[in-house]
Amino acid sequence: MSPPHIAGVGMTKFGKVPERTGRDLFAEAGSTAIEDAGIDRDDIDALYVGNFMGELSENQGHMGPLMAKAIGLDVPATRVESACASGGMAVRQGVRDVRNGEADVVLVSGVERMHNMGTAGATGGLSVAADDLWEIRQGITFPGAYALMAQRYFAVHGGDKEDLAHVAVKNHANAANNPLAQYQSEISVEKVLEAPPVAMPMGLFDSSPITDGAAAALLVSEDYAEEHDLDAPVAITGTGQGTDNLALAERDSLVWTPATRDAGQEAYDDAGISTDDVDFLEVHDCFTIAEVLALEGLGFYEEGEGITAAREGETTADGDLPVNLSGGLKAKGHPVGATGVAQLTEMTKLFRGDHVNSDAVEDASVGLTHNAGGTVASAVVHVLEVAE
Amino acid sequence: MSPPHIAGVGMTKFGKVPERTGRDLFAEAGSTAIEDAGIDRDDIDALYVGNFMGELSENQGHMGPLMAKAIGLDVPATRVESACASGGMAVRQGVRDVRNGEADVVLVSGVERMHNMGTAGATGGLSVAADDLWEIRQGITFPGAYALMAQRYFAVHGGDKEDLAHVAVKNHANAANNPLAQYQSEISVEKVLEAPPVAMPMGLFDSSPITDGAAAALLVSEDYAEEHDLDAPVAITGTGQGTDNLALAERDSLVWTPATRDAGQEAYDDAGISTDDVDFLEVHDCFTIAEVLALEGLGFYEEGEGITAAREGETTADGDLPVNLSGGLKAKGHPVGATGVAQLTEMTKLFRGDHVNSDAVEDASVGLTHNAGGTVASAVVHVLEVAE
């Protein structure tokens, strides 16, 4: 069972393009990945599509075959959905297909259209990631749920809104020169603190934006890469997935994410690594507090200690453990179903030296992606390693 | 790579229960399967949930973790969606997990709520299985699309509405004593022909009903079954999946389903069988014409020759090749995301001798399930065999 290698990646510029359809966005990302890999598209054996709410945003389900045919593929094509972790779950299915010999070449992808729904529509759409009976009908929104988690964090562990502001400042700085990012502008702590409130303590700059976009990656078996003499140095050596209650009220703690812990632990075991081996991360920062909880859940910080990581410069581009060099969901953008795949495409480029922030991870050999659904009722983690 | 065995099955009575939630229906089916298997639920390693339109019918996505926690499971849980083939796709992911050693015990399931949307709402919801740009916005509905396929079939191959009526009569006869079926009543050819039109030539009795329901099956590795001395005689020895354009207008033919052919061929190759080995089938008869197209696509009849199969008694319970002994989607009911799993649960009971129609397949050793999405833009086929 040898790990799949990433032979090619593609991603649309994330942003606001309400006039582009899901199939259009997917086709750009998918075709880019195929061109990047330089392989014959007839060699592709299967397609997985991560999509969260196409039924609501464009009256479109059944995106497996729809997307396959949009780029001329006639292969088994399946949509997976796990809210904001849909993309990561699509990656996971592809990883398993390749490493188990079910396929030699799998295209994994994610796509989401959000701006055509309007802001209220998108917020309503996002609500289907939460528990309709016990959360949405009670009036909670996603920003509200994460605000509860942040308030609770402050109460239990300390920290304040300024600590969180540093997360947003860091991720905007990382995106500043990333041509595919939705926001290519640095921001200051003051700007974050003075921004309009969304759900306190979360302000406008603590929140990831509404985004249209798609991402895709071609996973190939080691044998296929060798036979075709591909330049595919990055391999996915570990995968893990975790589960929790959808409703915050049904959890033991608002500030601890067992789904992230379980996904991380399974991925570490799978890859045979520990957190000490990891050089950099892409984590699910849908809100600034989410990045803090991710770093703790993944075991990089003790509970209550992740809050100062960005402020202390530990997770900045020049820190010991760069986090979200892509700009993260916060600044790169968060087209929900595409996010988990975009983490993979950005990390691959960071490893390969063709990302604007590649210099920050010149000697890196191990990276980790963390994609979460809802308020982390699902999480999926992948370990990426540069082949020797 | 040894095939997964089916250790336990569960299914709600299909029907009209608008007051029951998706999680409630799932929990009944899932718990029944676990009890049927007689295993410790802590042994379950993963869950797959087939669901088509929870976002629309109950404002609920993210059903992987939601359903896992609904029955106390804390395992990786993923929703897959491929329109009316969602359940079959969930089965396929579970089959691969088990046979590749990713898991020893996987719960595969499907669930759908439809009656709470009303008939118009359900028809609107179903439309997201078709191509929104090129079909739905042009005013076509699913009954309309299948009516086009039937009209074209008559024009190309011959046959008439009475031929199709025999499919409905057969499937109602099969369901007549099935306590889990939505309709437990025989019908006559005259009744089918005199029924109100839905989209000609499809009348009310040519169409599968709107249904609420859930189904679940526990797949276990051969090693696990042996170690725990389980009575799990039925194994899934082959899986196949096919893809086609969503829009009818983009296909070469309205009366030939390459997705079914591809899914069948892959499954036969995977199991090392041919159609000659198959003793009975559960196929996707969302409309009577769909059963005909399935039998031809799967290779049991030449093109244009499947239309008389029911009329000639070849596919009735006492025929050479019984088809839809469960009652099929037509009479057992069609809770969309659950259907592909219900095919598996019904076939397992038929094999085990604890189905009302088991007598019809006393000496059977090979069965086949065929689940299709949309107008067969996706199809998934599984081969079931009784272990020696």
Q: What is the pLDDT of residues B264-300, one digit of tens each?
A: 999 999 999 999 999 999 999 999 999 999 999 999 9
Average confidence score pLDDT of chain A: 97
Q: Give which of A45, A119, A111 is closest to A337, Cα–Cα.
A: A111
- State the average pLDDT over residues A154-173: 98
The confidence band for A388, taking pLDDT boundaries of 50, 70 and 90, is low
Mutating which of A25, A48, A82 best tests the B interface, going by the most B Cβ atoms within 10 A? A82
The confidence band for B388, taking pLDDT boundaries of 50, 70 and 90, is low
Q: What is the DSSP string of B193-204?
A: HHSPEEETTEEG
Contacts of B130 in chain A (CB under 8 A): 62
DSSP state of A308: G
Read off the tokens for A282.
């892409």
Read off the tokens for B63.
């059903």
Contact B62 A243 (CB under 8 A): no
pLDDT per residue over B211-260, tens digit each?
999 999 999 999 999 999 999 999 999 999 999 999 999 999 999 999 99
Q: Judge whether residue A34 has pLDDT over 90.
A: yes
Q: Where are the alpha helices (DSSP H) in B234-335?
A: 258-271, 288-297, 328-332
pLDDT of B338? 98
The C-alpha of A9 sits at a distance from chain B's nearest C-alpha, in angstroms, of 23
Q: Judge whether residue A1 has pLDDT over 90.
A: no
Q: What does residue B259 show for φ and ψ, rounded to 5 degrees?
A: -65, -40
Contact A245 B56 (CB under 8 A): no
Residue B32 lies in a domain: yes
The C-alpha of B187 sits at a distance from chain A's nearest C-alpha, in angstroms, of 33
pLDDT per residue over B303-334, tens digit each?
999 999 999 999 999 999 999 999 999 999 99
Pairwise CA distance, residues A370 & B241, whole Å: 30
Residue of A nearest to B79 (CA): A81
Number of domains in chain A: 1
Contact A374 B59 (CB under 8 A): no
Mutating which of B75, B78, B107, B127 best tests the A interface, going by the most A Cβ atoms within 10 A? B78
Contact B65 A250 (CB under 8 A): no
The C-alpha of A200 sits at a distance from chain B's nearest C-alpha, in angstroms, of 26
Q: Are B337 and B113 in contact (CB under 8 A)?
A: no
Residue B189 lies in a domain: no
The C-alpha of B312 sits at a distance from chain A's nearest C-alpha, in angstroms, of 35
The partner residue sitting opposite A83, judged by closest CB among B58, B62, B128, is B62
Q: Judge whether residue B4 has pLDDT over 70.
A: yes
Q: Judge whether residue B88 has pLDDT over 80.
A: yes
Residue A354 lies in a domain: yes
pLDDT per residue over B248-271, tens digit each?
999 999 999 999 999 999 999 999
The partner residue sitting opposite B82, judged by closest CB among A62, A89, A244, is A62
Residue of B nearest to A73 (CA): B243
Average confidence score pLDDT of chain B: 97
Across B171-231, the runs of DSSP E, i.e. the strands, are 197-199, 202-203, 213-220
The partner residue sitting opposite B129, judged by closest CB among A62, A93, A131, is A62
Contact B59 A83 (CB under 8 A): no
pLDDT of B387? 79
The partner residue sitting opposite B61, judged by closest CB among A52, A133, A262, is A52
Give the domain CATH number at B293.
Answer: 3.40.47.10
pLDDT of B365? 98
Contacts of B373 in chain A (CB under 8 A): 62, 65
The partner residue sitting opposite A81, judged by closest CB among B61, B68, B130, is B61
Q: Is B286 a catalytic residue?
A: no
User: How far are the Cα atoms of A90, A158, A165, A285 from residue A162, in angstroms, in the given order?
Assistant: 35, 12, 5, 16
Mutating which of B20, B55, B123 best tests the A interface, going by the most A Cβ atoms within 10 A? B55
- State the average pLDDT over residues B344-363: 97
Q: Give which of A78, A64, A83 is closest to B66, Cα–Cα.
A: A83
Determine which one of B5, B115, B166, B334 is catalytic. B334
Length of chain B: 388
- Count interface pairs A-B at CB distance under 8 A: 162
Residue B156 lies in a domain: no
Contacts of B53 in chain A (CB under 8 A): 55, 61
pLDDT of A95? 98
Residue B276 lies in a domain: yes
Pairwise CA distance, residues B177 & B55, whole Å: 34
pLDDT per residue over A231-251, tens digit each?
999 999 999 999 999 999 999
Contacts of A373 in chain B (CB under 8 A): 62, 65
Determine which one of B84, B284, B286, B370 is catalytic. B84
Q: Give which of B205, B239, B232, B193 is closest to B371, Cα–Cα.
A: B239
Q: Are B142 and B372 in contact (CB under 8 A)?
A: no
pLDDT per residue over A355-368, tens digit each?
999 999 999 999 99
Mutating which of B20, B246, B376 best tests the A interface, going by the most A Cβ atoms within 10 A? B246
The confidence band for A315, taking pLDDT boundaries of 50, 70 and 90, is very high
Q: Judge whether residue B108 has pLDDT over 90.
A: yes
Q: What is the DSSP string of A209-237?
A: PP-BEEEEEEEE-HHHHHHTT----EEEE
Residue of B nearest to A241 (CA): B76
pLDDT of A120? 86
- State the average pLDDT over residues A10-17: 98
Pairwise CA distance, residues B165 & A103, whole Å: 42
Residue A170 lies in a domain: no
The C-alpha of A204 sits at a distance from chain B's nearest C-alpha, in angstroms, of 26
The partner residue sitting opposite A243, judged by closest CB among B61, B77, B96, is B77
Residue A362 lies in a domain: yes
Q: Give which of A192, A175, A193 is closest to A184, Cα–Cα.
A: A175
Global ipTM: 0.98
pLDDT per residue over B115-153, tens digit each?
999 888 898 899 999 999 999 999 999 999 999 999 999
Residue of A nearest to B84 (CA): A62
Catalytic residues of A: 84, 334
The C-alpha of A345 sits at a distance from chain B's nearest C-alpha, in angstroms, of 22
Residue B183 lies in a domain: no
The partner residue sitting opposite B128, judged by closest CB among A59, A75, A374, is A59
- State the average pLDDT over residues A147-167: 98
- Structural domain harbouring B345: 5-118+209-386
pLDDT of B1? 76
pLDDT of B107? 98
